[in-house]
Structure 1
Protein backbone atom coordinates (compact mmCIF):
# COMPACT_ATOMS: atom_id res chain seq x y z
CA UNK A 1 0.00 0.00 0.00
CA UNK A 2 1.38 3.40 -1.01
CA UNK A 3 1.50 5.97 1.76
CA UNK A 4 0.15 9.44 1.06
CA UNK A 5 2.24 12.24 2.58
CA UNK A 6 0.09 15.16 3.70
CA UNK A 7 0.51 18.54 5.35
CA UNK A 8 -2.35 20.00 7.36
CA UNK A 9 -2.45 23.79 7.47
CA UNK A 10 -4.41 25.03 10.45
CA UNK A 11 -3.57 21.87 12.41
CA UNK A 12 -4.14 23.51 15.80
CA UNK A 13 -7.58 24.81 14.83
CA UNK A 14 -10.97 23.25 15.47
CA UNK A 15 -11.31 21.27 12.22
CA UNK A 16 -7.63 21.08 11.29
CA UNK A 17 -6.75 19.35 14.54
CA UNK A 18 -9.42 16.68 14.03
CA UNK A 19 -8.24 16.10 10.45
CA UNK A 20 -4.59 15.88 11.53
CA UNK A 21 -5.49 13.37 14.22
CA UNK A 22 -7.46 11.38 11.65
CA UNK A 23 -4.42 11.36 9.36
CA UNK A 24 -2.25 10.04 12.21
CA UNK A 25 -4.73 7.17 12.70
CA UNK A 26 -4.86 6.23 9.01
CA UNK A 27 -2.48 3.45 7.91
CA UNK A 28 -2.27 4.75 4.33
CA UNK A 29 -1.60 8.39 5.27
CA UNK A 30 1.56 9.95 6.69
CA UNK A 31 1.21 13.32 8.37
CA UNK A 32 4.54 14.75 7.27
CA UNK A 33 4.17 18.36 8.43
CA UNK A 34 1.74 20.91 9.83
CA UNK A 35 1.25 24.66 9.66
CA UNK A 36 0.30 26.84 12.60
CA UNK A 37 1.77 30.25 13.28
CA UNK A 38 1.35 30.07 17.04
CA UNK A 39 2.94 26.60 17.30
CA UNK A 40 5.67 27.02 14.68
CA UNK A 41 9.03 25.50 15.51
CA UNK A 42 7.64 22.79 17.77
CA UNK A 43 6.14 19.32 17.51
CA UNK A 44 2.45 19.05 16.63
CA UNK A 45 1.57 16.64 19.43
CA UNK A 46 3.16 18.89 22.02
CA UNK A 47 1.30 21.89 20.60
CA UNK A 48 -1.91 19.97 21.37
CA UNK A 49 -0.75 19.54 24.96
CA UNK A 50 0.13 15.86 24.56
CA UNK A 51 3.02 13.58 23.63
CA UNK A 52 5.30 14.10 20.66
CA UNK A 53 4.05 12.76 17.32
CA UNK A 54 7.20 13.64 15.35
CA UNK A 55 5.38 16.07 13.07
CA UNK A 56 7.14 19.43 12.68
CA UNK A 57 5.09 22.62 12.70
CA UNK A 58 5.89 25.51 10.37
CA UNK A 59 4.67 29.09 10.28
CA UNK A 60 4.15 29.24 6.51
CA UNK A 61 2.78 26.75 4.00
CA UNK A 62 5.65 27.41 1.60
CA UNK A 63 8.13 26.12 4.20
CA UNK A 64 6.15 22.94 4.98
CA UNK A 65 5.82 21.31 1.55
CA UNK A 66 9.04 19.29 1.19
CA UNK A 67 8.10 15.68 0.50
CA UNK A 68 4.37 16.44 0.66
CA UNK A 69 1.89 14.96 -1.81
CA UNK A 70 -1.24 16.82 -0.64
CA UNK A 71 -1.80 20.03 1.31
CA UNK A 72 -4.99 20.05 3.39
CA UNK A 73 -5.99 23.63 4.19
CA UNK A 74 -8.16 24.52 7.18
CA UNK A 75 -6.80 27.99 7.90
CA UNK A 76 -8.60 31.33 7.47
CA UNK A 77 -10.36 33.16 4.62
CA UNK A 78 -7.59 35.75 4.34
CA UNK A 79 -4.84 33.12 4.04
CA UNK A 80 -6.29 30.28 2.00
CA UNK A 81 -5.79 31.69 -1.51
CA UNK A 82 -2.08 32.31 -1.01
CA UNK A 83 -1.68 28.89 0.62
CA UNK A 84 -3.37 27.07 -2.26
CA UNK A 85 -1.40 28.91 -4.92
CA UNK A 86 1.87 28.29 -3.06
CA UNK A 87 1.17 24.55 -3.06
CA UNK A 88 0.09 24.49 -6.70
CA UNK A 89 3.28 26.28 -7.73
CA UNK A 90 5.27 23.52 -6.00
CA UNK A 91 3.29 20.79 -7.78
CA UNK A 92 1.53 19.76 -4.57
CA UNK A 93 -2.12 18.70 -4.76
CA UNK A 94 -4.57 20.50 -2.47
CA UNK A 95 -7.72 19.84 -0.47
CA UNK A 96 -9.45 23.09 0.45
CA UNK A 97 -11.71 23.00 3.50
CA UNK A 98 -11.38 26.69 4.36
CA UNK A 99 -14.33 29.00 3.64
CA UNK A 100 -14.14 32.31 1.84
CA UNK A 101 -12.97 31.71 -1.74
CA UNK A 102 -15.21 33.05 -4.50
CA UNK A 103 -16.06 31.44 -7.83
CA UNK A 104 -13.68 33.89 -9.51
CA UNK A 105 -10.83 32.86 -7.22
CA UNK A 106 -11.52 29.19 -7.88
CA UNK A 107 -11.37 29.93 -11.61
CA UNK A 108 -7.92 31.46 -11.08
CA UNK A 109 -6.80 28.42 -9.08
CA UNK A 110 -8.19 26.06 -11.71
CA UNK A 111 -6.25 27.75 -14.48
CA UNK A 112 -2.96 27.57 -12.61
CA UNK A 113 -3.58 24.00 -11.39
CA UNK A 114 -4.16 22.82 -14.95
CA UNK A 115 -0.95 24.50 -16.07
CA UNK A 116 0.93 22.65 -13.31
CA UNK A 117 -0.92 19.32 -13.69
CA UNK A 118 -2.17 19.49 -10.10
CA UNK A 119 -5.48 18.40 -8.58
CA UNK A 120 -7.42 20.68 -6.20
CA UNK A 121 -10.53 19.39 -4.42
CA UNK A 122 -12.55 22.02 -2.60
CA UNK A 123 -15.70 21.79 -0.57
CA UNK A 124 -17.52 24.21 1.65
CA UNK A 125 -18.28 21.23 3.88
CA UNK A 126 -16.56 17.84 3.90
CA UNK A 127 -19.27 16.19 5.96
CA UNK A 128 -20.77 13.18 4.15
CA UNK A 129 -24.31 14.22 5.10
CA UNK A 130 -23.75 17.81 3.95
CA UNK A 131 -22.51 16.47 0.62
CA UNK A 132 -25.67 14.42 0.27
CA UNK A 133 -27.75 17.55 0.93
CA UNK A 134 -25.91 19.31 -1.87
CA UNK A 135 -26.49 16.39 -4.24
CA UNK A 136 -30.21 16.41 -3.41
CA UNK A 137 -30.42 20.19 -3.87
CA UNK A 138 -28.77 19.98 -7.29
CA UNK A 139 -31.37 17.42 -8.31
CA UNK A 140 -34.20 19.60 -6.97
CA UNK A 141 -32.92 22.64 -8.90
CA UNK A 142 -33.39 20.74 -12.16
CA UNK A 143 -37.13 20.57 -11.51
CA UNK A 144 -37.96 23.53 -9.24
CA UNK A 145 -37.43 27.08 -10.53
CA UNK A 146 -37.18 29.10 -7.30
CA UNK A 147 -35.06 28.69 -4.17
CA UNK A 148 -33.36 30.59 -1.40
CA UNK A 149 -30.55 29.58 0.95
CA UNK A 150 -30.14 30.25 4.67
CA UNK A 151 -27.01 29.47 6.65
CA UNK A 152 -26.75 29.45 10.45
CA UNK A 153 -23.65 29.71 12.63
CA UNK A 154 -22.49 30.91 16.01
CA UNK A 155 -21.97 34.60 16.72
CA UNK A 156 -18.20 34.28 16.29
CA UNK A 157 -18.12 32.97 12.70
CA UNK A 158 -16.74 35.86 10.61
CA UNK A 159 -17.45 34.75 7.03
CA UNK A 160 -20.96 35.30 5.75
CA UNK A 161 -22.26 33.38 3.99
CA UNK A 162 -20.50 30.25 5.13
CA UNK A 163 -18.40 28.31 2.64
CA UNK A 164 -21.09 25.65 2.62
CA UNK A 165 -23.81 28.14 1.69
CA UNK A 166 -21.69 29.98 -0.86
CA UNK A 167 -20.71 26.78 -2.63
CA UNK A 168 -24.30 25.53 -2.61
CA UNK A 169 -25.61 28.81 -4.08
CA UNK A 170 -22.95 28.94 -6.78
CA UNK A 171 -23.41 25.34 -7.82
CA UNK A 172 -27.20 25.60 -7.90
CA UNK A 173 -26.75 28.63 -10.13
CA UNK A 174 -24.80 26.44 -12.55
CA UNK A 175 -27.84 24.17 -12.89
CA UNK A 176 -30.09 27.08 -13.82
CA UNK A 177 -30.71 30.68 -12.91
CA UNK A 178 -33.59 30.70 -10.44
CA UNK A 179 -36.75 32.60 -11.31
CA UNK A 180 -36.32 36.10 -9.85
CA UNK A 181 -38.35 36.88 -6.76
CA UNK A 182 -40.65 39.87 -6.70
CA UNK A 183 -38.97 43.24 -6.22
CA UNK A 184 -39.49 44.42 -2.68
CA UNK A 185 -39.45 47.77 -0.95
CA UNK A 186 -38.28 48.56 2.55
CA UNK A 187 -34.80 48.18 4.05
CA UNK A 188 -31.89 47.45 1.71
CA UNK A 189 -30.31 44.08 2.42
CA UNK A 190 -33.36 42.56 4.08
CA UNK A 191 -33.62 40.04 1.24
CA UNK A 192 -30.04 38.86 1.71
CA UNK A 193 -27.21 38.76 -0.81
CA UNK A 194 -27.63 37.45 -4.33
CA UNK A 195 -25.29 34.54 -5.04
CA UNK A 196 -25.70 32.35 -8.08
CA UNK A 197 -28.91 34.24 -8.78
CA UNK A 198 -30.51 33.22 -5.46
CA UNK A 199 -31.11 35.19 -2.28
CA UNK A 200 -28.74 33.92 0.41
CA UNK A 201 -29.15 34.78 4.09
CA UNK A 202 -26.77 34.36 7.03
CA UNK A 203 -27.84 34.07 10.67
CA UNK A 204 -25.10 34.56 13.30
CA UNK A 205 -26.31 33.93 16.85
CA UNK A 206 -25.09 32.18 20.01
CA UNK A 207 -26.52 28.69 20.28
CA UNK A 208 -25.88 27.67 16.68
CA UNK A 209 -22.97 25.54 15.53
CA UNK A 210 -23.34 25.16 11.75
CA UNK A 211 -26.39 24.58 9.57
CA UNK A 212 -27.47 25.28 6.02
CA UNK A 213 -30.91 25.11 4.44
CA UNK A 214 -31.99 25.18 0.80
CA UNK A 215 -35.67 26.09 0.44
CA UNK A 216 -37.49 25.44 -2.85
CA UNK A 217 -40.99 26.74 -3.51
CA UNK A 218 -43.84 26.11 -5.91
CA UNK A 219 -47.38 27.45 -5.65
CA UNK A 220 -49.02 25.61 -2.77
CA UNK A 221 -45.97 23.54 -1.78
CA UNK A 222 -42.42 23.84 -0.47
CA UNK A 223 -39.35 21.61 -0.19
CA UNK A 224 -36.79 22.27 2.56
CA UNK A 225 -33.41 20.51 2.62
CA UNK A 226 -31.41 21.16 5.79
CA UNK A 227 -28.11 19.97 7.18
CA UNK A 228 -27.09 20.53 10.80
CA UNK A 229 -23.69 19.90 12.34
CA UNK A 230 -22.96 19.21 15.98
CA UNK A 231 -20.21 20.62 18.14
CA UNK A 232 -17.54 18.09 17.09
CA UNK A 233 -15.34 18.43 14.01
CA UNK A 234 -15.24 14.65 13.57
CA UNK A 235 -17.86 14.62 10.74
CA UNK A 236 -15.41 16.42 8.46
CA UNK A 237 -12.51 13.99 8.84
CA UNK A 238 -13.58 11.08 6.64
CA UNK A 239 -14.59 13.29 3.71
CA UNK A 240 -11.41 15.35 3.91
CA UNK A 241 -9.16 12.30 3.88
CA UNK A 242 -11.22 10.79 1.03
CA UNK A 243 -10.53 13.94 -0.98
CA UNK A 244 -6.82 13.84 -0.09
CA UNK A 245 -6.58 10.28 -1.42
CA UNK A 246 -8.32 11.22 -4.67
CA UNK A 247 -6.66 14.60 -5.37
CA UNK A 248 -3.46 13.16 -6.92
CA UNK A 249 -5.56 11.47 -9.61
CA UNK A 250 -7.08 14.76 -10.78
CA UNK A 251 -6.07 17.89 -12.64
CA UNK A 252 -7.69 21.26 -12.01
CA UNK A 253 -10.35 22.19 -9.48
CA UNK A 254 -13.11 19.81 -8.41
CA UNK A 255 -15.76 21.49 -6.26
CA UNK A 256 -18.01 19.66 -3.85
CA UNK A 257 -17.61 16.43 -1.92
CA UNK A 258 -20.89 15.33 -3.52
CA UNK A 259 -19.06 15.23 -6.86
CA UNK A 260 -16.80 12.51 -5.46
CA UNK A 261 -19.62 10.59 -3.79
CA UNK A 262 -21.70 10.42 -6.96
CA UNK A 263 -18.92 9.17 -9.20
CA UNK A 264 -19.11 5.48 -10.19
Structure 2
Protein backbone atom coordinates (compact mmCIF):
# COMPACT_ATOMS: atom_id res chain seq x y z
CA UNK A 1 0.00 0.00 0.00
CA UNK A 2 1.29 3.45 -0.92
CA UNK A 3 2.22 6.01 1.71
CA UNK A 4 -0.34 8.82 1.48
CA UNK A 5 1.32 12.24 1.63
CA UNK A 6 0.01 15.77 2.09
CA UNK A 7 2.64 18.24 0.91
CA UNK A 8 2.55 21.80 2.25
CA UNK A 9 4.50 24.17 0.04
CA UNK A 10 4.03 21.94 -2.98
CA UNK A 11 4.35 24.73 -5.55
CA UNK A 12 7.53 26.22 -4.07
CA UNK A 13 11.13 25.79 -5.15
CA UNK A 14 11.86 22.66 -3.12
CA UNK A 15 8.29 21.42 -2.81
CA UNK A 16 7.68 21.28 -6.55
CA UNK A 17 10.84 19.21 -7.09
CA UNK A 18 9.70 16.80 -4.40
CA UNK A 19 6.20 16.61 -5.87
CA UNK A 20 7.57 15.64 -9.27
CA UNK A 21 9.73 12.95 -7.66
CA UNK A 22 6.70 11.56 -5.82
CA UNK A 23 4.94 11.27 -9.17
CA UNK A 24 7.71 8.86 -10.19
CA UNK A 25 7.57 6.82 -6.96
CA UNK A 26 5.55 3.62 -6.89
CA UNK A 27 5.23 3.44 -3.10
CA UNK A 28 4.22 7.05 -2.35
CA UNK A 29 0.98 8.80 -3.35
CA UNK A 30 0.47 12.55 -3.12
CA UNK A 31 -3.14 12.93 -1.99
CA UNK A 32 -3.26 16.64 -1.11
CA UNK A 33 -1.20 19.77 -1.48
CA UNK A 34 -1.12 23.12 0.29
CA UNK A 35 -0.45 26.30 -1.65
CA UNK A 36 -2.35 29.47 -0.85
CA UNK A 37 -2.02 31.23 -4.21
CA UNK A 38 -3.01 28.15 -6.27
CA UNK A 39 -5.82 26.86 -4.04
CA UNK A 40 -8.70 25.25 -5.92
CA UNK A 41 -6.54 23.86 -8.71
CA UNK A 42 -4.88 20.46 -9.04
CA UNK A 43 -1.14 20.23 -8.51
CA UNK A 44 -0.67 18.59 -11.89
CA UNK A 45 -2.18 21.60 -13.65
CA UNK A 46 0.14 23.99 -11.82
CA UNK A 47 3.32 21.95 -12.29
CA UNK A 48 2.55 20.54 -15.71
CA UNK A 49 2.70 16.97 -14.41
CA UNK A 50 -0.47 15.02 -15.31
CA UNK A 51 0.29 12.24 -12.85
CA UNK A 52 -0.22 14.64 -9.94
CA UNK A 53 -3.97 14.84 -9.46
CA UNK A 54 -3.85 16.06 -5.86
CA UNK A 55 -6.10 19.03 -5.08
CA UNK A 56 -4.46 22.16 -3.71
CA UNK A 57 -5.89 23.70 -0.54
CA UNK A 58 -5.27 27.16 0.87
CA UNK A 59 -4.35 25.93 4.35
CA UNK A 60 -2.99 22.81 5.97
CA UNK A 61 -6.10 22.55 8.16
CA UNK A 62 -8.33 22.41 5.08
CA UNK A 63 -6.14 19.82 3.38
CA UNK A 64 -5.96 17.61 6.46
CA UNK A 65 -9.71 17.76 6.99
CA UNK A 66 -10.47 16.84 3.39
CA UNK A 67 -7.78 14.24 2.64
CA UNK A 68 -6.53 11.78 5.27
CA UNK A 69 -2.80 11.15 4.98
CA UNK A 70 -0.11 9.00 6.53
CA UNK A 71 2.64 11.62 6.30
CA UNK A 72 2.37 15.39 6.34
CA UNK A 73 5.39 17.06 4.74
CA UNK A 74 5.99 20.62 5.94
CA UNK A 75 7.81 22.77 3.38
CA UNK A 76 6.34 26.25 3.91
CA UNK A 77 7.50 29.16 6.11
CA UNK A 78 8.46 29.36 9.79
CA UNK A 79 5.53 31.64 10.71
CA UNK A 80 2.99 28.93 9.84
CA UNK A 81 5.07 25.75 10.12
CA UNK A 82 4.51 25.06 13.81
CA UNK A 83 0.72 25.37 13.51
CA UNK A 84 0.75 23.11 10.45
CA UNK A 85 2.81 20.46 12.25
CA UNK A 86 0.58 20.47 15.33
CA UNK A 87 -2.53 20.27 13.14
CA UNK A 88 -1.12 17.26 11.28
CA UNK A 89 -0.24 15.48 14.51
CA UNK A 90 -3.74 16.18 15.75
CA UNK A 91 -5.10 14.42 12.68
CA UNK A 92 -2.96 11.33 13.37
CA UNK A 93 -0.31 11.89 10.69
CA UNK A 94 3.43 11.49 11.00
CA UNK A 95 5.33 14.65 10.00
CA UNK A 96 8.48 15.40 8.06
CA UNK A 97 9.73 18.98 8.53
CA UNK A 98 11.82 20.65 5.86
CA UNK A 99 10.98 24.23 6.86
CA UNK A 100 13.79 26.16 8.55
CA UNK A 101 13.51 28.82 11.21
CA UNK A 102 11.75 26.90 13.99
CA UNK A 103 13.21 27.51 17.45
CA UNK A 104 14.21 25.04 20.13
CA UNK A 105 11.09 26.12 22.05
CA UNK A 106 8.97 25.32 18.99
CA UNK A 107 10.50 21.87 18.78
CA UNK A 108 9.94 21.27 22.48
CA UNK A 109 6.22 21.88 21.95
CA UNK A 110 6.23 19.71 18.82
CA UNK A 111 8.02 16.89 20.66
CA UNK A 112 5.42 16.98 23.42
CA UNK A 113 2.56 16.84 20.91
CA UNK A 114 4.17 13.96 19.01
CA UNK A 115 4.51 11.95 22.21
CA UNK A 116 0.90 12.64 23.19
CA UNK A 117 -0.37 11.57 19.76
CA UNK A 118 1.92 8.55 19.48
CA UNK A 119 3.32 9.85 16.20
CA UNK A 120 6.74 10.74 14.84
CA UNK A 121 8.20 14.02 13.65
CA UNK A 122 11.40 13.91 11.61
CA UNK A 123 12.85 17.42 11.38
CA UNK A 124 15.60 17.87 8.80
CA UNK A 125 17.38 21.18 8.42
CA UNK A 126 18.77 20.11 5.05
CA UNK A 127 18.09 16.92 3.08
CA UNK A 128 21.36 16.99 1.09
CA UNK A 129 23.73 14.10 1.77
CA UNK A 130 26.72 16.46 1.89
CA UNK A 131 25.08 18.30 4.81
CA UNK A 132 24.62 15.04 6.67
CA UNK A 133 28.33 14.38 6.20
CA UNK A 134 29.23 17.89 7.41
CA UNK A 135 27.19 17.37 10.58
CA UNK A 136 28.77 14.01 11.36
CA UNK A 137 32.32 15.18 10.64
CA UNK A 138 31.78 18.30 12.77
CA UNK A 139 30.55 16.20 15.69
CA UNK A 140 33.67 14.03 15.40
CA UNK A 141 35.96 17.07 15.31
CA UNK A 142 34.27 18.75 18.28
CA UNK A 143 35.23 15.82 20.49
CA UNK A 144 38.90 16.67 20.02
CA UNK A 145 39.03 20.37 19.06
CA UNK A 146 37.52 22.71 21.68
CA UNK A 147 37.24 25.92 19.64
CA UNK A 148 35.07 26.53 16.57
CA UNK A 149 32.71 29.03 14.97
CA UNK A 150 29.92 28.55 12.43
CA UNK A 151 29.21 30.74 9.40
CA UNK A 152 25.77 30.64 7.77
CA UNK A 153 25.62 31.93 4.18
CA UNK A 154 22.33 32.48 2.32
CA UNK A 155 20.71 34.62 -0.36
CA UNK A 156 19.79 38.19 0.55
CA UNK A 157 16.02 37.50 0.61
CA UNK A 158 16.16 34.74 3.23
CA UNK A 159 14.44 36.14 6.32
CA UNK A 160 15.17 33.48 8.92
CA UNK A 161 18.60 33.58 10.46
CA UNK A 162 20.38 31.38 11.00
CA UNK A 163 19.18 28.71 8.61
CA UNK A 164 17.63 25.47 9.80
CA UNK A 165 20.81 23.71 8.74
CA UNK A 166 22.90 25.84 11.10
CA UNK A 167 20.39 25.62 13.93
CA UNK A 168 20.53 21.85 13.68
CA UNK A 169 24.34 21.85 13.50
CA UNK A 170 24.65 24.06 16.59
CA UNK A 171 22.20 21.88 18.51
CA UNK A 172 24.17 18.76 17.64
CA UNK A 173 27.49 20.27 18.66
CA UNK A 174 25.94 21.45 21.91
CA UNK A 175 25.35 17.82 22.82
CA UNK A 176 29.06 17.14 22.34
CA UNK A 177 30.35 20.19 24.25
CA UNK A 178 30.22 24.00 24.26
CA UNK A 179 32.91 25.69 22.22
CA UNK A 180 35.58 27.43 24.27
CA UNK A 181 36.21 31.17 24.02
CA UNK A 182 39.66 32.51 24.87
CA UNK A 183 38.09 35.92 25.56
CA UNK A 184 34.63 35.63 27.16
CA UNK A 185 31.97 37.56 25.27
CA UNK A 186 31.34 39.87 28.21
CA UNK A 187 35.02 40.90 28.10
CA UNK A 188 34.92 41.83 24.42
CA UNK A 189 36.21 45.35 23.79
CA UNK A 190 34.31 47.30 21.15
CA UNK A 191 31.04 46.00 19.69
CA UNK A 192 30.33 42.59 21.21
CA UNK A 193 27.65 41.78 18.62
CA UNK A 194 30.33 41.46 15.95
CA UNK A 195 31.38 38.23 17.66
CA UNK A 196 28.13 36.66 16.48
CA UNK A 197 25.29 35.05 18.43
CA UNK A 198 25.74 32.33 21.01
CA UNK A 199 23.55 29.37 20.03
CA UNK A 200 23.63 26.03 21.85
CA UNK A 201 27.21 26.72 22.90
CA UNK A 202 28.51 27.81 19.48
CA UNK A 203 29.31 31.21 17.99
CA UNK A 204 27.17 31.68 14.86
CA UNK A 205 27.51 34.34 12.16
CA UNK A 206 24.82 34.76 9.45
CA UNK A 207 25.53 36.39 6.08
CA UNK A 208 22.70 37.34 3.69
CA UNK A 209 24.00 38.37 0.28
CA UNK A 210 23.13 37.97 -3.41
CA UNK A 211 24.88 35.07 -5.21
CA UNK A 212 24.50 32.59 -2.33
CA UNK A 213 21.85 29.89 -2.15
CA UNK A 214 22.60 28.14 1.14
CA UNK A 215 26.08 27.39 2.44
CA UNK A 216 27.31 26.27 5.83
CA UNK A 217 30.87 26.43 7.09
CA UNK A 218 32.32 25.43 10.43
CA UNK A 219 35.88 26.40 11.27
CA UNK A 220 37.83 24.64 14.01
CA UNK A 221 41.01 26.23 15.35
CA UNK A 222 44.00 25.00 17.32
CA UNK A 223 47.45 26.57 17.74
CA UNK A 224 49.11 26.72 14.30
CA UNK A 225 46.42 24.60 12.64
CA UNK A 226 42.88 25.04 11.36
CA UNK A 227 40.16 22.75 9.99
CA UNK A 228 37.33 24.03 7.76
CA UNK A 229 34.30 21.93 6.77
CA UNK A 230 31.91 23.51 4.28
CA UNK A 231 28.77 22.65 2.33
CA UNK A 232 27.61 24.72 -0.69
CA UNK A 233 24.23 24.43 -2.39
CA UNK A 234 23.66 25.18 -6.05
CA UNK A 235 20.57 26.69 -7.63
CA UNK A 236 18.72 23.39 -8.08
CA UNK A 237 16.49 21.68 -5.52
CA UNK A 238 17.44 18.24 -6.85
CA UNK A 239 20.06 17.50 -4.12
CA UNK A 240 17.27 17.51 -1.53
CA UNK A 241 14.86 15.14 -3.27
CA UNK A 242 16.38 11.75 -2.44
CA UNK A 243 16.74 12.65 1.23
CA UNK A 244 13.17 13.92 1.37
CA UNK A 245 11.81 10.70 -0.16
CA UNK A 246 13.84 8.67 2.32
CA UNK A 247 12.40 10.71 5.20
CA UNK A 248 8.85 10.07 3.98
CA UNK A 249 9.50 6.33 3.80
CA UNK A 250 11.18 6.15 7.22
CA UNK A 251 9.23 8.54 9.47
CA UNK A 252 6.48 5.99 10.11
CA UNK A 253 9.02 3.64 11.69
CA UNK A 254 10.00 6.24 14.31
CA UNK A 255 8.39 7.68 17.42
CA UNK A 256 8.54 11.13 18.99
CA UNK A 257 10.77 13.89 17.65
CA UNK A 258 13.92 13.09 15.69
CA UNK A 259 16.19 15.78 14.28
CA UNK A 260 18.49 15.12 11.35
CA UNK A 261 18.43 12.87 8.31
CA UNK A 262 21.24 10.79 9.78
CA UNK A 263 18.76 9.33 12.29
CA UNK A 264 17.37 7.22 9.43
CA UNK A 265 20.70 6.53 7.73
CA UNK A 266 23.17 3.77 8.55
CA UNK A 267 26.32 5.80 9.02
CA UNK A 268 28.04 3.45 11.45
Length-normalised TM-score, structure 1: 0.96
| Runs of 4+ residues over 4 Å off in structure 1 | 49-52
CA distance in 2, matches of 1:18, 1:211: 20
Show the counterpart of 2:178: 177
Match of 2:131 in 1: 130
Q: Deviations over 1:141-195 (max 9, x none)?
A: 1111111100111111111111101110111111111113414221241111110
**1:143 matched to 2:140:** no
1:21 aligned residue: 20
Deviation at 1:111, TM superposition (A): 1.2
Contact residue 20 and residue 49 of structure 2 kept, 8 A: no
Deviations along 1:199-225, one digit per CA (max 9) or x if unpaired, are 101111111111001111111111111
Tell me the equivalent position of 1:251.
255
CA contact (8 A) 2:74 2:95 kept: yes
- Aligned residue number for residue 86 of structure 2: 85
Identify the range of structure 1 (63-72 vs 75-84) with the bigger mean alpha-carbon deviation: 63-72
Give the secondary structure class of the aligned counterpart of 2:231. strand
Cα distance in 1 between the residues matched to 2:105 and 2:49:
41
Tell me the distance in 1 between the aligned counterparts of 2:18 and 2:198.
32
CA contact (8 A) 2:127 2:240 kept: yes
CA offset at residue 259 of structure 1?
2.3
Rate the CA distance shift 1:222–1:262 in 2: closer, same or farther, 3 A: farther
**Counterpart-to-counterpart distance in 1, 2:174 and 2:251:** 25
Q: What is the CA-CA distance between 1:115 and the residue it aligns to?
A: 1.1
Alpha-carbon offset, residue 17 of structure 1? 0.7
Task: Give the 3-state SS of the residue equivalent to 2:230 in structure 1.
Answer: strand
| RMSD (Å) for aligned C-alpha atoms | 1.4
CA distance in 2, matches of 1:216, 1:24: 42
Question: The residue matched to 2:4 in structure 1 has which SS?
Answer: strand
Q: Distance in 1 between matches of 2:236 and 2:68?
A: 31
Aligned pair in 2 of structure 1 residues 195, 181: CA closer, same or farther (>3 Å)? farther
| Alpha-carbon distance in 2 for matches of 1:49, 1:74 | 20
More helix by share: 2
The alpha carbon displacement at 1:263 in A equals 5.7
Aligned residues: 263
Question: Unpaired runs of 5+ in structure 2?
Answer: none
Structure 1 unpaired stretches of 5+:
none
Distance 2:93 2:135 in 1: 28
Query: Cα–Cα, structure 1 residues 179 and 129, in superposed 2: closer, same or farther, change >3 Å?
Result: same
